[in-house]
Structure 1
Amino acid sequence: MRLVTYRAGGGMRPGAVVSVDGEDHLLDLSSISARVEEILADEARLALVRDAVAATDAASLPRLDSVTLAAPVTPGKILCLGYNYRGHVPDGVDATANDPEWPDVFVKTPNTLAAPDDAVVIPQGATDVDYEGELAVVIGRRAQRVSIGDALAHVGGYTILNDVSDRAWQRRQSQWALGKCSDGFAPLGPWVVTADEVPDPQDLLVEVVRDGVVTVSQSTSTTIFSVAFVIHHLSQVLTLEPGDIVSTGTPQKLAAAQEAHRPLGDGDAVTVRISRIGELTTTFTVAQEAAR
């Protein structure tokens, strides 16, 4: 199932996306729960949603594009990985030779969260803003010191995160926070695909398209640290709660894209698409100087 949060009546409501003849419609779920996080955390609620989806006449529902989507969940924590995809190596070379022993983990603060259709505002003075298309894990069950074998049982679903980054600020310090945490630098969505729809998170194709050109294309099978390991690893230190986001890193840009790369600017558009999940398109605009 695909679960969304949408704006209605001055508030937020959960919904399920139901397709008919290739067109997405919206089933309101507010009679079942107030938040997507609560649905993911409760098998009984999930069963009610599945029953409601199966029983609905999708053609009678409003079109999904008639509503305004919010971020599908409101995470208490957004935990991200740095280098987590192996690059291309020549034949005969051990691809794992340069693997780090542990994941490089950083956080994005709550002000970074953005809805799937929100434009990202490039701050004044930012000279090197970049995109990172990532598979994002949504925690469904509380996870504290879980084993690798049990880790995926704590996943509620998967979504897409664009880890927008200001490289100039990122390079100014060993800690990355100021390069990662400008307002709106974490577009998320457009929905959460429940975990039962993604039997193997290590078998997904992650692609990024910038202005019509594919700049990233790599399988999650090439990650250094699996989703299961990352959840296990993080849960040894902190408790993961329903709705928390664990973003699993971005593949390297393709060689031609690296050579042609330029910082994001006004009017640029970036689409992150992941097999079995969907796609997230983000447009960028430049902050206007405030009147003096």
Structure 2
Amino acid sequence: MFKAILIDKVDSTYQARITDLSDEQLPEGDVTVRVSYSTLNFKDGLAITGKSPVVRQFPMVPGIDFVGTVENSTHPKYQAGDKVLLNGWGVGETHWGGLAQKARVNGDWLIPLPLGISEQQAMAIGTAGYTSMLCLMALERHGVRPEHGKVLVTGASGGVGSFAIALLANNGYSVIAATGRLEETEYLKHLGAETVIHRSELSEPGRPLAKERWAAAIDSVGSHTLANVCAGTQAEGAVAACGLAQGMDFPASVAPFILRGVSLLGVNSVTQPYARRVEAWSRLCDELDFHKLTEITREIALPQSLEAASDLLQGKVRGRLVVDVNR
């Protein structure tokens, strides 16, 4: 038996609870992993609280990422004892995820734990750090360079935002951080932000075109914020969009795209090809200041995830929540 968070829905009753499960209940897959750590992401918060229909089938174990040790495997890449990690691939939505002491998954969804980092560090980075690196890589593929101008990061106090600031600053970019919590200004500047602005400058309906303020942006908020980010982007600039904390809608004009040549780059952290996943994690190991992980991260026990999910959705959590599933 092993412990897990289990979400179930009977009639109209939605419930998330800690429970004991057996190996026989695990879903199909060719690799079984003894999970060491998972994390609590925005999507996990939605799943646990039922605030949005993230969970596609019931019962469901949430947790969109995890790291651990292979217990048994019939996949050619992995054998018992290997350290592996997973981001995305529908775990926690359509397939049981990482907020449990065991997981069984398709081995193609895994990558080896990179050398030189611990399991706890891997989940301190987690999907938030991984997504931030994918955004940076997308901007780079578009040709964005530090000399082109400032880069805006929205949702700056959250997990994706915190890592985006640290990664951009480490790569020589001048960063503007937008946050609803100006009391975190010192924290954001320590991560590498040069300027901190209040999110209210971006979160309300705005003009189709605004003053050109940044060469590029990483946005995890969506809705009016993303529309205003695009409106304030310099000619031939780019915006990497990876989240929907404010909403899924995009009440924007085509003006930034057809009058300034702004590019909107969608970043999907769920189903990236193996080579790109490995590249992203390799760069994270090389380009992150691991001394800052302790400032970005707070560790909690598995049962604490239930309460923390609500705090996360209310914007009360700074940085990352790492979940030690074995306590």
User: Above 0.5 in TM-score?
Assistant: no
Comparing both chains, which one has the higher relative contact order based on Cα–Cα distances under 8 Å and sequence gaps of 6 or more?
Answer: 1
Pairwise TM-score range, normalised by the shorter structure: under 0.3
- For normalisation by structure 2, the TM-score amounts to 0.25
Bigger fraction of residues in helix: 2
- More strand, by proportion: 1
TM-score (norm 1): 0.27
